[in-house]
Amino acid sequence: MTRLALLAIPMFAAACAGPGSLAGKPESDLRASLGSPAAEYPNADGSRTLAYPQGSFGTQTYMAEVDPGGAVRGVRQALGEDTFQRIDPGMTRDEVLRLIGPPQETMAFPRQRELSFEYRFRDAWGYPALFYVNFDPRGIVVSKFTRRIDPSPSRDR
C-alpha cells in the first residue's frame, strides 16, 4: 500500500464518523462541525438540546444534548419512525420540539382549532415520507400520522 493511501484512510474514517462521534467533545467542536443550531431548547437541569436540520429537503435533523458544562452528551438523528413512536397524545408542543426539533412546515386549521407540524423524512424502506403532529389550542398532541410520498409518476392519466 502506498503512503498516500495510508494517509487517506484516517481522513476517510473521520469524514464518515458523522455527528455521533462528537459525544464527549466540547460544544465548540459541535458548532465547528454542524454550524449554528436552528433551535436551542434549555432543559430544567441546565443542559440544552440543540437542533440541526440537515440533508436534502430537510429529511434529517440531528438533536445534540449539551450538558451544563458545555460537553456534548450525544448526537442522534431524530427524524425516524423509532422516534416518532415516542410521540403520544397528551405530550406538549415543547416536548415534541425537544424530541424531533423544529418542523419544516406549520399549518393552522382554524375551524378545528388545531395546529399541525410537518416533518419530511425517509422511511425505513428509503422512500420520502411526511410525518405530521397535530396539537389542540393548548399545544397538546391530539394525533399524529405518517404519509409516504409516492415517487412514481401518476398512472391515472
Rounded-to-integer distance, Cα 56 and Cα 61, Å = 11
pTM of the model: 0.78
Task: Pick the most confident of 3-12, 34-43, 57-66, 101-110.
Answer: 34-43
**Rounded average pLDDT over 1-9:** 47
Looking at residue 22, its pLDDT comes to: 86
Domains and CATH numbers, the chain: 19-77 (no CATH), 78-157 (3.30.1450.10)
pLDDT tens across 7-60, in order?
A: 444 444 444 456 767 888 999 999 999 999 999 999 999 999 999 998 767 789
Mind spelling out the 3-state secondary structure of 21-61? HHCCCEHHHHHHHHCCCCEEEECCCCCEEEEEEECHHHCEE
Residue 50: exposure state from Cβ atoms within 10 A (0-12, 13-18, ≥19)? buried
**Rounded average pLDDT over 105-110:** 83
Query: With contact defined as beta carbons under 8 Å apart, do 105 and 92 qualify?
Result: no
Looking at residue 108, its pLDDT comes to: 81
pLDDT tens across 77-99, in order?
A: 999 999 999 999 999 999 999 99
The residue type of 139 is G
Whether 5 has a pLDDT exceeding 50, the answer reads no
Looking at residue 150, its pLDDT comes to: 76
